[in-house]
Amino acid sequence: MKIEDWFHTLRKKAQSIEEKWQGASEQERLQLAEQLFQLRQVSDTVVDLWLQFEEKLSNAIRSIKEMEGQLPAEEKKTHQSKVSAESPKAVESNPYEPIFRRGEGFYHLRMFQDAKKCFAELVQKSPDWESGRLYYAYSLLLCEDDELAFREFRLLGRTASSPTIVAISFNAIGCILAEEEQWLEAAQAFKTSLEIKPEQEEAKYNLALCYLRDGDAQEALDELEPYLEKNEHDWEAQMLWLRAAKLLHTMDQTVEWSPPKGLQLPTRDLDSDTLQEMASLYETVGNYHRAQICYHFLTERSPKDGWTWHGLAWNTWLISGTKRALTLVKKAISLAPENDDFLFSYGWMLLFDGRVEEAIKAFRIMLEKNRDNRLGQSGMISAYEKLGDTQEAKRLAKYFLEDAEPYVRSLGYFHLGRIAVVEENWRLAEQYFQRALPFAEQLWEIPIYLQLCASKRGQSEMQTELVQP
């Protein structure tokens, strides 16, 4: 039997036990548990044998290369000095190398608890072996023993003779601090890592992430752009760039930026998460055609996900109007009928197409499920405005002012401001919009309405001055 077939048989047996467990009786479960225990023993034996084989194979290859003169003199010297530096007790053969190889094998098999035990023993017996201590620190980190891992990395950062190990240790320190959302301290650790080893790509990405999480969008972009020149297809870095660009745009809409080469146009080759981030950025900056392309690719890739069809529908509506968008939003609703956002969009499109009664039906369906649904109430307020029933619109909007959420209260003031605009009460409208101003990032029309109110009030006051004696 081939070894591949043998492992296939073992996998099938484990799968069979998993499938039988749910419906098994207590007696049958005891038998299945015994089979699992036997499989675990087989697994442990295979790992031990593999580690012994890997150690023997590595030694054999190294010895044969040295005997055949395939290792240059300089490379032999480097290898020997490395062993000497890490364990001064042995030059040509280290008595603790089997422990290191065993731990290394466990680590690469992702058996981190077993790796941690091996490297803990190694560090105790040979504390100056820097590579072993680095493996030990990472094993601790991957076993979620963050505090002890942090101490080990800090020790290596202060005492290791290898610049590479020092740089790696500071990068790991930064990762631990970033997990605790200590962005400033994490950024400093990544900077230290890059000062020691400027070509370390992981630290560059991590530093950009810290800048973004700390709100420094421009600094994040400055780090990411050279990174993406070397790592053009790193979709995580692409997403990070898109988020930084979006944040920068919300902070300063006059800033001009040019996307890296891989993000200049949406393509089918991009990762789904990257396409979603691109669509969000394009929507923010008003480039609805490119957002539409992103969602078109996403519907091809995830045709059963309602949100992809909703995104395509919304941007199609902004570009081409209701007629072409309604079919798409209906598709989204059919895939996720419980999602009120999709039903609201359907009603909103109908409302702005002048089909007010049909829109009201959609909003009422939402309110029948939940009478306090703010989306449904917002739709009804706008519908009453269209019908000219400003009193009923005001009545609904004032419910928002009683909400505990500051955003919902601001939304209420925003509605009341729009109603005051319809009534041409410019001073009152301005007061309402000023109350809603803290949430202008979400309610982006507020600055436009405030300019309109100021303009109308200025004209009114000028006319009043002209008629005075």
Supply the pLDDT for residue 251.
78
**pLDDT tens series, the chain, 469 aa:** 677 777 778 888 888 888 888 888 878 887 887 788 788 777 767 766 766 676 677 667 666 655 655 443 333 333 332 223 333 333 334 677 888 888 888 888 788 898 899 899 998 988 888 888 999 999 999 998 889 999 999 999 988 888 999 999 999 999 999 888 899 999 999 999 999 998 888 889 999 999 988 888 888 888 888 888 888 778 788 778 888 888 887 777 677 767 777 666 778 888 888 888 888 878 877 788 888 999 999 999 999 999 999 999 999 999 988 888 999 999 999 999 999 999 999 999 999 899 999 999 999 999 999 988 999 999 999 999 999 999 999 999 999 999 999 999 999 999 999 999 999 999 999 999 999 988 887 787 888 899 999 988 876 554 444 444 4
Distance, in Å, from the CA atom of 247 to the CA atom of 18, rounded to the nearest integer, reads 47
Q: Is there a contact between 337 and 317 (Cβ–Cβ < 8 Å)?
A: no
Helix (H/G/I), strand (E/B), else coil: 197: coil
Extract the tokens encoding 380: 């009804």
Q: What is the DSSP secondary structure assignment for residue 305, as one 8-state letter?
A: -
Question: HSE on the CB side for 305, CA within 13 Å?
Answer: 14
| Cβ–Cβ < 8 Å for 127, 89 | no
For residue 65, the model assigns a pLDDT of 57
Q: Can you tell me the distance from the alpha carbon of 185 to that of 176, in angstroms, rounded to the nearest whole number? A: 10
Neighbours of 369 (CB within 10 A): 12
User: Residue 37 burial by CB count (10 A; 0-12/13-18/19+): exposed, middle or buried?
Assistant: exposed
User: Residue 142 is inside which H or E element, if any?
Assistant: helix 130-142
User: Position 468: which residue type?
Assistant: Q
Place of tokens 């700390």: 214
Judge contact between 348 and 340, C-beta under 8 A: no
Structure tokens belonging to residue 217: 């969008």
Distance CA 303, CA 396 (A): 38
- pLDDT digits 0-9 by tens, 92-118: 346 778 888 888 888 887 888 988 998
> Is the separation of the CB atoms in 392 and 374 below 8 Å?
no
Q: How confident is the model over 34-70, as pLDDT tens digits?
A: 788 788 777 767 766 766 676 677 667 666 655 655 4
* Amino acid 469: pLDDT: 40
Q: What is the DSSP string of 301-338?
A: H-TT-HHHHHHHHHHHHHHH-HHHHHHHHHHHHHH-TT
247 vs 224: CA distance, rounded Å: 14
CA atoms within 13 Å, Cβ hemisphere of 353: 20
| 284 CB neighbour count, 10 Å cutoff | 17
With a CB cutoff of 8 Å and minimum separation 6, the contacts of 423 are 390
Q: How much is the pLDDT for 462?
A: 42
